Structure 1
């Protein structure tokens, strides 16, 4: 069955219910399931009339938008294959993907993307047409057309092209922390498995009443699979185009469910703790009491036990005094939030559970259609990655590598049979490249990436993620990259939380000049020295960061230093800042 079949199912069930929401002239607008299907089907007819047929590859090179999901579903409807390109990819990266996949058509979202696509079109003999999402973009008329004009006179009736489980649905290029990007081939069956597994695992009630906010890039498998799941279940999904406006969007939309990466939760955790620690003794005691109360309730819920009436009453007061204020900054209605992309510490998930927001920590890869394992709503274990869902099988292979089987595993890497063979064992297990183990209750514990595991010159093994999480859980630290491979001791590149640091500088009466000077100030260095020593108290001696450098600017997606899901590309950063790193060992 075609992945886009939910358009027919939900239009029949909820014809006038809102399906998606988006900003139009600075106001949030919604369209119903009937309207949504009509636009998708008109787009599908336009694609077919433009020469796109079953099996063809069509690219989307855009930030999140209603147009993104409309074209994605239209591509799937005609039986073609969606090839997402990260909106932050430059011309060379986009060209590599378009050349390898031989896309005939591409949707672009902004002027920079259009200009890059137009240049590629004039060099590439396969790309034939550029579709432009917004009329605010200036276009050259040759082989270019606005989406609105493309579909204007098209028929709204369309019969979905029938698809088997094995038929290709999308080719997603891994942003990759190392090496050349590879096109992960995911089928219609992979997506069906993902949707079915989640609904079977969580047993949601009245899911059609939920509201989700898509703010992670739809190009990434995490947001893409979650958004398709939400729409499949009849939930309303809003699309945020400018991620810098996430705080405003949360208060305006008031989502009930939403996926996010660990950094999102860490920032809130750090901010809450910093506010509590710098408050008056009375407020600090109220926060401690509220946290203790909320944690007691969360623990009983986790164990699926009855909550005493008095504790319920105390928790209501805790909500009024503390937690509701924090939750209201996130819209006030969030209760279920999948978390993936990297590890997140138990302290973070425990705080959110105490507030009444369930973070369902999961583990998966692009190659596994996202989720392999995750927290249930009960009997999960903080600090773990949960248990397998659906028909997923997990075992620990050689050198503690996590191996997986199931209907969610990719077909392979596009046009890369050698690389595909390398990630599968002889008996068909997918090699994740991650280290892990099971606890006594069957929860998967992720240790680290095999490629990230470091060995010091003294023979000690360092797993960087737990150390980096420990440090970045602090409000004054935004990003961290640990260095240790082949070195005598552990060092780190640390990017401060510049907003928090600005306030600190003001309190310390240090005249602000620029960040390059500030991070080299003796007073600021001493502040971070003391803070890092305190944070690392419980680490073994060989794990502790002995030296660090405060960076004057954040690692950026555009410069290739981090992935779109905010994971640091270690090889890129190591090469770019080699001189700075060397100084920590030679001074």
Structure 2
């Protein structure tokens, strides 16, 4: 068992998220808290200004009659108003229920009904349409507040109308926000996050105020972020990764630039110039693939310089990690290549990034090392919605590739049966909403959470994730296969890859379904005289041969029983909208397997 025992900082934690936020407003009222896009420019907001807006939101909810721990939903993409609504809900003593904007109408209705939401913040008319259609199934839903949608003057009101209600309530009850905040107990429900899951209905994870406070303060105690930092936040705030960044921001006091438009990430990084950002591995895979393919398209001397730069960069990194001296000639070459190649890559991300944090899925080690060779540190972390997101993270001063770092101070980790990772600590959920049997399966009587992930711990307590227990399968020859390990290796090799999904449970060999990144493969098609849309490109002999080449490279580094004997390119990429990816861009393996059962069976015919 690994346990970090220095918990002195835990003796004076804020009692709840509302007090944590109000304390931050009092500590640094004039420092920048948020910025968000308005047209082509960015609007900046101080902590004091954000505090005033949150107070109006919270008071508006109190005026609508929202009671402690009653649920208030947010069905919206990541934007500044999401942050205000969430903080307003918690300062009113209520609990936020998160709904991804991509959640279908059926699941949206289920989540809001199961959580008994009293009020819902809906982003626009698209989200409002889901609520209107299912209004009869939502007897608890008294009022809908829309950011950009069309109010009806009755059931649906605009956010400005809510704020007007709040202003009137504050005028009549000047101290109501502070009084409400102080009355919130640490074990009160703060957030209900419904896991997207791969099968069946989503499960509501019940997370306390004290869990979010602990998460943010645990990061602050590591002294890796402070008020001078600037975060770029695009992650879905409906996901626990986005939420834990919010609690970390309040604890540390840095500013955050908010824009959830995924297609704007790279452009925004160049404008915002953040010092750090959290992201899912798919973002780093896409960036790596884009840079590599662009350089390959240049060809000639530039491509040779680029490839030599990374050869030198990776060699220098390896020597440093092993504690060996870097030969003078190699050091001089590295300095030259840093000016010619690496600084240009860093500039793509704004030029000021101290580190990225990768979570939500496993990051391929080769990609992490590639970025590190360019002078970009990616700190891999690990956690689940059931642990309020963060439980492990590497530190800028001490990180180890292939691991997710040590357990947070104040938490514990051990390996259970079959090397299942088990976690205990203040971040662990209370349980699943209205699902006592599911809760009992996941939480032991003495408070350990069964994660369902398989792992190993080194002598210093650094955790490595070796697979998802439910995703491990055994071939008919009796060999165990860990699909994620094979899949991430392919995506590190092939810069055009989007998804590579491995199958072979109780079969005599392993197969894969493959999709390519639409943007990357469109560029490849132009350079290789292949015409047509995505489906036509991937069906072409030239594209098939290209992918086969990368599969051959993959097979060369796999054990014999892991090698991919057959594969097929799908005529479309997987998407969140199709239900085949979660909003954090993880593959819903069971959904994909069901959708393409005929193709998979055909491999073995």
Judge same fold: TM > 0.5, yes or no. yes
Q: C-alpha distance in 2, partners of 1:373/1:387?
A: 5
Aligned to 1:542: 561
- How do residues 82-101 of structure 1 correspond to structure 2 at under 5 angstroms? 82-101=96-115
Aligned to 1:577: 596
Aligned to 2:195: 174
Aligned to 1:146: 158
Aligned to 1:43: 57
Q: C-alpha distance in 1, partners of 2:477/2:398?
A: 41
Aligned to 2:520: 500
Q: Which stretch of the first structure deviates more once superposed, 481-490 or 238-247?
A: 238-247
Aligned to 2:211: 190
CA gap of 1:25–1:513, structure 2 versus 1, over 3 A, is: closer
**1:15 is aligned to 2:29:** yes
- For residue 73 of structure 1, the aligned residue among 55, 71, 87 is 87
Q: Which stretch of the first structure deviates more once superposed, 315-324 or 382-391?
A: 315-324
- For residue 115 of structure 1, the aligned residue among 103, 126, 129 is 129
Aligned to 2:8: none
Aligned to 1:405: 424
- How do residues 441-480 of structure 1 correspond to structure 2 at under 5 angstroms? 441-473=460-492, 474-480=494-500
1:480 Cα deviation (Å)? 1.3
- Write out per-residue CA displacement over residues 235-277 of structure 1, whole angstroms, 9 at most, x where no aligned residue: 1112113222212211221111110001111122233344455
Contact 1:213–1:237, Cα closer than 8 Å, also in 2: yes
- How do residues 547-562 of structure 1 correspond to structure 2 at under 5 angstroms? 547-562=566-581
Q: C-alpha distance in 2, partners of 1:304/1:60?
A: 50
1:353 Cα deviation (Å)? 2.1
**1:344 is aligned to 2:363:** yes
Contact 1:302–1:379, Cα closer than 8 Å, also in 2: no
1:299 Cα deviation (Å)? 6.0
Aligned to 1:52: 66
- How do residues 259-298 of structure 1 correspond to structure 2 at under 5 angstroms? 259-276=278-295, 280=299, 282-291=301-310, 294-295=313-314
The alignment yields a C-alpha RMSD, in angstroms, of 2.4
- Write out per-residue CA displacement over residues 299-333 of structure 1, whole angstroms, 9 at most, x where no aligned residue: 68768999999988765543321112112222221
**1:483 is aligned to 2:506:** no
- Write out per-residue CA displacement over residues 70-95 of structure 1, whole angstroms, 9 at most, x where no aligned residue: 01001111111110011110111011
Aligned to 2:20: 6
Contact 2:235–2:260, Cα closer than 8 Å, also in 1: no
- How do residues 381-420 of structure 1 correspond to structure 2 at under 5 angstroms? 381-420=400-439
Q: Look up the SS of the partner of 1:47 in the other structure.
A: helix
**1:34 is aligned to 2:48:** yes
**1:372 is aligned to 2:386:** no
Aligned to 1:429: 448
Contact 1:303–1:378, Cα closer than 8 Å, also in 2: no
CA gap of 1:513–1:293, structure 2 versus 1, over 3 A, is: closer
Aligned to 1:328: 347
Q: Which stretch of the first structure deviates more once superposed, 3-12 or 162-171?
A: 3-12
Question: Which residues of structure 2 form unaligned runs of 5+?
Answer: 1-14
Q: C-alpha distance in 2, partners of 1:73/1:280?
A: 51
- How do residues 200-211 of structure 1 correspond to structure 2 at under 5 angstroms? 200-201=221-222, 203-204=223-224, 207-211=226-230
1:278 Cα deviation (Å)? 5.6
Q: Which stretch of the first structure deviates more once superposed, 260-269 or 347-356?
A: 347-356
CA gap of 1:232–1:477, structure 2 versus 1, over 3 A, is: same
Contact 1:435–1:446, Cα closer than 8 Å, also in 2: yes
Question: Which residues of structure 1 form unaligned runs of 5+?
Answer: none
CA gap of 1:544–1:308, structure 2 versus 1, over 3 A, is: closer
Contact 2:413–2:424, Cα closer than 8 Å, also in 1: yes
1:504 Cα deviation (Å)? 2.9
Q: C-alpha distance in 2, partners of 1:433/1:141?
A: 48
Contact 1:384–1:445, Cα closer than 8 Å, also in 2: yes
Q: Look up the SS of the partner of 1:388 in the other structure.
A: coil
- Write out per-residue CA displacement over residues 20-51 of structure 1, whole angstroms, 9 at most, x where no aligned residue: 11122342111111110000001111110011
Q: Look up the SS of the partner of 1:536 in the other structure.
A: helix
1:147 Cα deviation (Å)? 0.5
CA gap of 1:264–1:82, structure 2 versus 1, over 3 A, is: same
- Write out per-residue CA displacement over residues 323-378 of structure 1, whole angstroms, 9 at most, x where no aligned residue: 12112222221112111111112211112222232211011100011122221223
Contact 2:381–2:390, Cα closer than 8 Å, also in 1: yes
Q: How many residues align?
A: 581
CA gap of 1:220–1:522, structure 2 versus 1, over 3 A, is: same
Q: C-alpha distance in 2, partners of 1:502/1:176?
A: 32
Contact 1:39–1:70, Cα closer than 8 Å, also in 2: yes
Q: C-alpha distance in 2, partners of 1:297/1:41?
A: 53
Contact 2:290–2:520, Cα closer than 8 Å, also in 1: no
CA gap of 1:221–1:304, structure 2 versus 1, over 3 A, is: farther
Q: C-alpha distance in 2, partners of 1:241/1:378?
A: 30
Aligned to 1:524: 543
Q: C-alpha distance in 2, partners of 1:504/1:296?
A: 29
1:397 Cα deviation (Å)? 0.8
CA gap of 1:280–1:197, structure 2 versus 1, over 3 A, is: same
Q: Look up the SS of the partner of 2:367 in the other structure.
A: helix
**1:242 is aligned to 2:261:** yes
Contact 1:304–1:378, Cα closer than 8 Å, also in 2: no
CA gap of 1:274–1:471, structure 2 versus 1, over 3 A, is: same
Contact 1:335–1:356, Cα closer than 8 Å, also in 2: no
Contact 1:301–1:378, Cα closer than 8 Å, also in 2: no
Q: Look up the SS of the partner of 1:410 in the other structure.
A: coil
